[in-house]
Amino acid sequence: MGLFKKLFTSKEKRKKAEKYKIGMMKTRNNSLSSLKDLLRNSKKIDEELYGQLEEIFIMADVGVDTVVEFIEELRVEVEKENITDPKELENMIVDKMFELYLKGEVINTNIRYNEGDLTVILFVGVNGTGKTTTIGKLAHKIKSEGKSVMMAAGDTFRAGAINQLKVFGERVGCEVVAKEAGSDPSSVIFDAIKKAKEDKIDVLLIDTAGRLQNKKNLMNELGKVNRIIERETGSNVYETYLVIDATTGQNGLSQAKIFSEVANITGVVLTKLDGTAKGGIVLAIRNKLNIPISFVGLGEKITDLEYFDIEDYIYGLFSDFFE
Amino acid sequence: MAFEDLTGRFQMALRRLTGKSKLTEKDIDEMMREVRLSLLEADVNYKVVKEFTEDVKKLAYGEKILKGLKPGEQVVKIVNDELTKLMGEEAVELALKHDGLSVILMVGLQGAGKTTTAGKLANLIRKKHNKKPMLIAADVYRPAAIEQLQTVGQQLNIEVYEEGLIEPDTIVKNGLAYAKDKGYDLVIVDTAGRLHIDDSMMDEIKRIEKLAKPDEVLLTVDAMTGQDAVNVADTFNQALHITGCILTKLDGDTRGGAALSIRKITGVPIKFSGTGEKLEDIEVFHPERMASRILGMGDILSLVEKATEEIDEDEALSMMEKMMTGKFNYNDLLKQMKMIKRMGKFSGIMKMMPGMKNLGNMDKIDDKQLEYIEAIVGSMTEEERKKPELVNRSSSRRNRIANGSGRSYSEINKLVQMLEKQQTMMRRMQGMNPSSLESMAKGNFEPKQSRSERRNKMKKKGGFRF
Ligand SMILES: Nc1nc2c(ncn2[C@@H]2O[C@H](COP(=O)(O)OP(=O)(O)OP(=O)(O)O)[C@@H](O)[C@H]2O)c(=O)[nH]1
Ligand SMILES: Nc1nc2c(ncn2[C@@H]2O[C@H](COP(=O)(O)OP(=O)(O)OP(=O)(O)O)[C@@H](O)[C@H]2O)c(=O)[nH]1
Ligand SMILES: [Mg+2]
Ligand SMILES: [Mg+2]
C-alpha cells in the first residue's frame, strides 16, 4: 500500500490540503494531473508509457536530469517488482516522488527562531519573484503567531521598492526601517538590526534587491550583507530564504546553486503557485542541492502564504487520484 | 550536467563517429536525441521540441544530408536554420502611427518586467522615432506601483499620468484624453500583473484594450519562464490582440527556450529583449541570435555588435578577425579582457561568447585578476606574447615569467590554459556555425584564411571533427 495513500486517508490532512488544491486546481486538465488518465488508458508498461510519463514531469518543470533519473529508477523498480499493470504504477510513482523529496530525512520547515533573542530572516532571489510580497505575507503570519516583527528595506535600488515595503508594513502593522533610495543596503541592514535589538523585536525580515545570479558584483554585495548580519547578530544561525517564481524553468536550479555559494540558503519560498505553473524545478533543487522548500505563495494578498508540505504539494499535483 | 550546451553534446555524439564519412539514419537519430535534450534543458516546451526534432529529422534523413561531404556540419546547420526560421523574421518594427496619438498597452504576468519595460520603451521610442511619450499608471493593485512608475518617469524626464487608486478603466480613459490635450503623440499604459487564468482581471484588461484601442499590445515575458510559457502566451493571445512579445531578463544566464515556445504556439513576433535593470537596457530582438542561444552555441554576433557599439570599432573588428582565424595571442587576450572590462560587465558579455561557460573561472575575473594577468603578460617578451606556443613548450620560460611578474607558477599555467581553451573554442565555433560565419563575412570582416585552410589547421590541432 502506498505511503502516500495511507497518509491521505486522514480526513484532516485532506482538508488542510484543500487550499493547495484550489491554488492548483485550475490546471488540472493538463500536466501532472493527467497522470491518472494516462495510467488508466495504457494497456502495458512500455517505452511509450515511459515517454508519456517523462512528458508529464518535464511539463511540470521538474529538471530534465531529475526526470531522466526518476524514470530510470522507476524502470528498475518495475523490473524488480515484476509489475505489468500500469495502474500499479500509481502508488509507485507517488511514493518515489516522496522519496525524491524527503531522501529519508525528516524535513522541518518551521522557522528556526532564535528563542529569547532577535531572529533575522533574509530574503534573496532574482528579479520579480515575490521577495517583497512574501515579506509582507510572512510578517503577517509571524505577527498573528504572537511575535513582534520589523522589516528592513534592503532594496535601495529598484524604483518604488522602499514604498512597496512600507505599504506592507502598514498593512501588517509593523515598523519598516528604511533609508533614502540609493543608499548602501548594508547600512540599512546594520541600522535595522540595531533598532530591532533596542526595541526587543522578535523577528526582523530583511528585503533585498532582486539580482540575477550571474551578476558577480551584485552577488558579492549579498556576501557583504551576510557578513554584516553575522557580525551584528553574533551568529550565523538565521534563515535565508531563496524566493523562486513557480513559472521558472530550468534556470531555477542555477539560481539555487549560485545563490547558495554566497548565502547559506536554508529554504525556498515557491511563489505564484496560484497560476498554472507547477514549480517542479523545486524538486530538482531538493534532489540536487538538498535545499528544502519552506513556504509557498498562493496569491497576492498577505494571507496567501502557506507552510510548504510535500504531501499537500503532491496532492495538488495529483489531486485526481483522490476524488 | 557535463555537457551543458549543444557544442559539447555534439562533440560527444560525433566522437563515436570518427572515421565515418557519412552519417546513417541511426547517427542522425542519435544526434537529434542530443538536440532534444539540449532544447528541453533550454526550457523549450516539450511538445514544441517533439515537433521540431521530428521535422528536422525528416529534413536530415533526406538525400541532402547523406550525400554531403561533411554531414555533421550539415546537421548542425539544418538544426540552426530551422530554429532560426521558427524564431521568425528579423527585427519586427513597432506599428506606430505617423501622425496622431499612438498607444502601447503593456500586459503580462506578475513581476515579468512591464513597468520597467514601459519606461525603457518610452525612452527608446522617444530617441529612435522622435516621439513625445507619456506614461499612464493603470496598476492600482501592486503596492506602490504608481510610485514605481513615477520614479521611472522622473529618471527619464517623462510625464506619468495617475489618478491614484481608482478604476483602471477610468484612469486610462482620462489619461488618453489628457495626452491628446497636451500634444503627446505616444502613450504607454502600464497595467497590473495578472494571471492568465484570473477571469476578472482578464476581463479588466480586455475592457482597457477596447477603450484604449492600442496600436501595440505587448506581452512581457520573463526569459526564465519554463514550460508554462505556452499556456500564458496562448491565453493572453486569445483574450487580447497581442501584437508582440518582449522577453525580459535576458541578461541572465537562462537559455530562454520560452522564446521558441511562444513563437511556435502563438506566431506572435518577439520585438524586444530586456537586458538589464537600467532604463537603457533594451534591444531590438534578434531571432537568429536567440536561436543559437537556445541551442547553446553562444552568441558571437551579439558580442561583435556590442563590442562595436561600445568600443572602438577597429579594435573590435581586428579582435574578432583574430579570434576567428585562431591567431589569438597574449596581446589579444589582454586587449580582450580590457575591452570587456571597459564594457563593465564581464558576465553579460562572457555568456554571449561561445563555450565561455567551459572556461572555468573566467567569469570570476575581477579587477585584481586583470591586474595579475597584466603583470604576467607584462613579463613576457614581445615574441612570447605573439607566439603563445613558446610559453606552452618551455617550463623555463614560464618560470622566468612567474619570477618576473611575482605571480605563482600555477597562475602562469592557468593563463596558458585559458588562452588555449579560448583558441579551441573559437576554432570549434568556426566549424560549428557556418551561417554565422557567413553573416560575419557580410559584415565586412572576412577571415584572412580560406575556410578549407582553417579546417585543415583545425584537424591538425585536434579541434572539432567533422
Ligand atoms: N499571483 C501571485 N502573485 C504574486 C505572488 N507573490 C508575489 N506576487 C506578485 O509578483 C509581483 C512581484 O512581487 P514582488 O514582491 O515585488 O517581487 P520582488 O521579488 O520583491 O521583486 P524585485 O524586488 O523587483 O526583485 C507583484 O505583482 C506581486 O503582487 C504569488 O504568490 N502569487
Ligand atoms: N536583470 C533584469 N531585470 C529586469 C529586467 N526587466 C525588469 N527587471 C526587473 O524585474 C523586476 C520586476 O520588474 P517590474 O517592471 O516591476 O515588473 P512588472 O511586470 O511591472 O511587475 P508587476 O507590476 O508586479 O506585475 C524588477 O526588479 C526589475 O528591475 C531585465 O531586462 N533585466
Ligand atoms: Mg522587491
Ligand atoms: Mg508593474
Residue B55, domain member (yes or no):
yes
B144/A167 touch (CB, cutoff 8 Å), yes or no: yes
CATH of the domain at B70: 1.20.120.140
Q: Measure the CA–CA gap between B429 and A250, rounded to whole angstroms.
A: 25
- For position B342, what pLDDT does the model report? 59
B145/A26 touch (CB, cutoff 8 Å), yes or no: no
Chain-centre distance for alpha carbon B86: 16
Phi-psi sector, B346: left (phi>0), alpha (psi -120 to 50), beta: alpha
Same domain, B281 and B389: no
Q: Which residues contact A78 (CB under 8 A, 6 or more apart)?
A: A45, A89, A92
Nearest to A248 among B226, B257, B345 (CB): B226
Q: Measure the CA–CA gap between B120 and A296, rounded to whole angstroms.
A: 32
- Any B CB within 8 A of A216 CB: yes
Residue B232, φ and ψ in degrees, nearest 5: -65, -55
- For position B306, what pLDDT does the model report? 45
Q: Measure the CA–CA gap between B441 and B436, rounded to whole angstroms.
A: 8
Report the DSSP pairing between strands A203-208 and A305-307: unpaired
Greater confidence (B59 vs A135) lies with A135
Residue B16, domain member (yes or no):
yes
The SS3 assignment for B147 reads helix
Nearest to B231 among A126, A216, A276 (CB): A276
Residue B426, domain member (yes or no):
no
Residue B250, domain member (yes or no):
yes
Q: Measure the CA–CA gap between B107 and B192, rounded to whole angstroms.
A: 8
- A-facing residues of B in 277-306 (CB < 8 A) are 277
User: Which of B86, B111, B137 lies at the terminal end of a domain, its last residue?
Assistant: B86
Question: What are residue A66's DSSP bridge partners?
Answer: none
Query: Among positive and negative, which fits the CA dihedral A17, A19, A20, A24?
Result: positive
A164/B148 touch (CB, cutoff 8 Å), yes or no: yes
Total count of residues recorded for chain A: 323
Residue B439, domain member (yes or no):
yes
C-alpha cell at A263: 548565502
> Is the CATH number 3.90.320.10 carried by domain A119-307?
no
Number of Cβ atoms within 10 Å of the Cβ of B135: 30
Number of Cβ atoms within 10 Å of the Cβ of B18: 7
- For position A127, what pLDDT does the model report? 98
CATH of the domain at B202: 3.40.50.300
Q: Which residues contact B330 (CB under 8 A, 6 or more apart)?
A: B377, B380, B384, B385, B386, B388, B391, B419
Q: Measure the CA–CA gap between A105 and A98, rounded to whole angstroms.
A: 11
- For position A321, what pLDDT does the model report? 38
Mean pLDDT per 10-residue segment, chain B (466 residues): 48 50 72 84 93 86 50 68 82 88 98 98 94 97 97 97 96 98 97 96 97 97 96 96 97 94 93 96 90 66 41 56 71 74 48 43 59 87 88 89 88 86 68 43 35 36 25
CATH 1.20.120.140 intervals, chain A? 3-107
The pLDDT of A62-80, averaged and rounded, is 91
CATH of the domain at B395: 1.10.260.30
- Any A CB within 8 A of B38 CB: no
Q: What is the mean pLDDT of chain A?
A: 86
The DSSP secondary-structure symbol of A248 reads B
- pLDDT-derived band at A11, boundaries 50, 70, 90: very low
- For position B320, what pLDDT does the model report? 62
C-alpha cell at B158: 517623462
Same domain, B23 and B111: no
- Chain A residues near residue B41 by CB distance under 8 angstroms: 64, 250
The percent of residues in chain A predicted with pLDDT above 90, rounded, is 61
End-to-end Cα separation, chain A, in angstroms: 18
Sheet holding A203-208, edge to edge: A175-177, A149-154, A203-208, A119-124, A239-245, A267-271, A293-297, A305-307
Q: Measure the CA–CA gap between A122 and A87, rounded to whole angstroms.
A: 45
Place of cell 561531404: B69
End-to-end Cα separation, chain B, in angstroms: 24
Q: Measure the CA–CA gap between B50 and A170, rounded to whole angstroms.
A: 50
Q: How many CB pairs under 8 A join A and B?
A: 158
Closest chain B residue to the Cα of A157, Cα to Cα: B277
Instruction: Look up the CATH architecture of domain A3-107.
Output: Up-down Bundle (1.20)
Q: Measure the CA–CA gap between A92 and A73, rounded to whole angstroms.
A: 11
Q: What's the domain count of chain B?
A: 4
- Asked if residue B233 lies in contact with residue B18, where contact means CB atoms within 8 angstroms, the answer is no
**CA-based nearest residue to B459, from B435, B431, B437:** B431
Q: How many CA atoms are closer than 13 Å to the CA of B219, on its beta-carbon side?
A: 32
User: Which of B295, B315, B349 lies at the terminal end of a domain, its last residue?
Assistant: B295
- Asked if residue B272 lies in contact with residue B246, where contact means CB atoms within 8 angstroms, the answer is yes
- Domain containing B375 equals 305-418
CATH 3.40.50.300 intervals, chain A? 119-307
Q: Measure the CA–CA gap between A321 and B5, rounded to whole angstroms.
A: 38
Same domain, B51 and B123: no
How far off is chain A from B257, nearest CA to CA, in Å?
9
Cβ burial of A55 (10 Å; 0-12, 13-18, 19+) is middle
Q: Measure the CA–CA gap between A200 and B63, rounded to whole angstroms.
A: 78
Residue B400, domain member (yes or no):
yes
Residue B463, φ and ψ in degrees, nearest 5: -75, -150
The DSSP secondary-structure symbol of B450 reads -
Same domain, B122 and B258: yes
Is residue A160 scored above 50 in pLDDT? yes
- For position B12, what pLDDT does the model report? 55
Q: How many CA atoms are closer than 13 Å to the CA of B374, on its beta-carbon side?
A: 11
Same domain, B354 and B389: yes
Q: Give residue B284 CA to ligand 3 midpoint distance, Å.
A: 27
Same domain, B120 and B202: yes
User: Which of B62, B86, B110 lies at the terminal end of a domain, its last residue?
Assistant: B86
Element (H, E) at A20: helix A11-25
The percent of residues in chain A predicted with pLDDT above 70, rounded, is 86
Is residue A207 scored above 90 in pLDDT? yes
C-alpha cell at B429: 565555433
- Chain A residues near residue B143 by CB distance under 8 angstroms: 136, 163-164, 167-168, 171
Residue B94, domain member (yes or no):
no
Same domain, B39 and B132: no
- Any A CB within 8 A of B251 CB: yes
Same domain, B112 and B222: yes
**Maximum separation of any 2 CA atoms in chain A, in Å:** 68
Give residue B373's identity as a one-letter amino acid code. I
Q: Measure the CA–CA gap between B136 and B191, rounded to whole angstroms.
A: 9
A277/B228 touch (CB, cutoff 8 Å), yes or no: yes
The SS3 assignment for A270 reads strand
Number of Cβ atoms within 10 Å of the Cβ of B195: 21
Q: Give residue B137 CA to ligand 4 midpoint distance, Å.
A: 9
Residue B425, domain member (yes or no):
no
- Chain A residues near residue B145 by CB distance under 8 angstroms: 160
- For position A183, what pLDDT does the model report? 94
B254/A251 touch (CB, cutoff 8 Å), yes or no: yes
